[in-house]
Structure 1
Amino acid sequence: MAVKLGSNDGDDLTETADINITPFIDVILVLLIIFMVAAPLSTVDVAVELPVSSAPQKPRPEKPIFVSVKSDLAITLGEDTVARPALGAALDTATKGNKDERIFLRADKGVPYGELMGVMNLLRAAGYLKVGLVGLEDVSGGDRP
């Protein structure tokens, strides 16, 4: 509560309704600085070693459909080389039009990631959404990153 003492007109002290907000702003700025310093400290990078999955392997289909990307970026369906624009039609023939058939995608180690994603986009555009990536199993049992 503020009091005005400037006039000597009478003994009445008149109250003014001015609120001093300077201390309020100071407190808000201090809190802002505290939160700005504390926020980055609250995110801690913790190294975690994830466990190996012990889930049983799903049974392999009798005649799986393999799409392979060779090191020269050629695409093969089974044993036959297929042009990129004709991949959808060749898959329709191989699966007899069943879009729910799982397609196994293999790629050479030297194939750039962008090329592999391009082939996956071709499969998705053709309507084949069940794609399994094929790799070698780690039979040594070692923990490799």
Structure 2
Amino acid sequence: MGIQLDSGPTVKRHNYQQNAEINITPFVDVILVLLIIFMVAAPLATVDVPVDLPSNAATPSPLPTEPVYISVQTDGQLFVQEQAVTLQHLAEVTHGVTARNLETRLFLRGDQAVEYGTLMRVMNTLQKAGYARISLVAAEELEP
């Protein structure tokens, strides 16, 4: 006589396919929250600290007695001081006005309607001639 032990009903496992895709929605949510936190915190990190700076005992460098202006009119006509020049002779005339001092600061004035390319050609010509200190001149904007 033998006893047969029954382990109960057999559990059938379902044969589901595994999902190999990663759900990135929670990841995107976390990244967006971090982005918002950093956007709020970034301006707080650049706090302007008031500092009482010491005075400078050195005398300021003197302004040039005769500033050298290079002007470009609307029609593209060039002037060194009040002397009309062509782009080909710009370097020669500028050397004459500055006595070949390449450290002289040149002030480039251009009309509002002058093309950007024209101003760049003038600046490139002056830089090729050896002048590295070229400043652009603008009119002060008056507040209403």
TM-score of the superposed pair, with normalisation by structure 1: 0.57
Number of paired residues? 105
SS at match of 2:71: strand
Kindly indicate whether residue 134 of structure 2 is the aligned counterpart of residue 131 of structure 1: yes
Q: CA deviation at 1:128?
A: 0.8
The alignment yields a C-alpha RMSD, in angstroms, of 3.2
TM-score of the superposed pair, with normalisation by structure 2: 0.58
SS at match of 1:67: strand
| Deviation readout 1:19-73 (Å, 9 max, x if unpaired) | x994xx626x34654477x39x6569xxxxxxxxxxxxx8542111110001110
Kindly indicate whether residue 80 of structure 2 is the aligned counterpart of residue 82 of structure 1: no
SS at match of 1:66: strand
Identity rate, percent: 32
| Deviation readout 1:88-120 (Å, 9 max, x if unpaired) | 121111111111000011111211222212211
List runs of 5+ in structure 2 lacking aligned partners. Answer: 1-17, 41-60
Call closer, same or farther: CA 1:136–1:32 in 2, change over 3 Å. same
Q: Which amino acid aligns with 1:74?
A: Q
List runs of 5+ in structure 1 lacking aligned partners. Answer: 1-19, 45-57
SS at match of 1:119: helix
**Alpha-carbon distance between aligned partners in 1 of 2:139 and 2:62, rounded to the nearest angstrom:** 17
Which of 69, 74, 80 aligns to 2:72? It is 69
Call closer, same or farther: CA 1:33–1:134 in 2, change over 3 Å. same
Displaced runs of 4 or more, over 3 A? 29-36, 41-44
Call closer, same or farther: CA 1:111–1:30 in 2, change over 3 Å. same
**Alpha-carbon distance between aligned partners in 1 of 2:19 and 2:101, rounded to the nearest angstrom:** 72
Call closer, same or farther: CA 1:31–1:84 in 2, change over 3 Å. farther
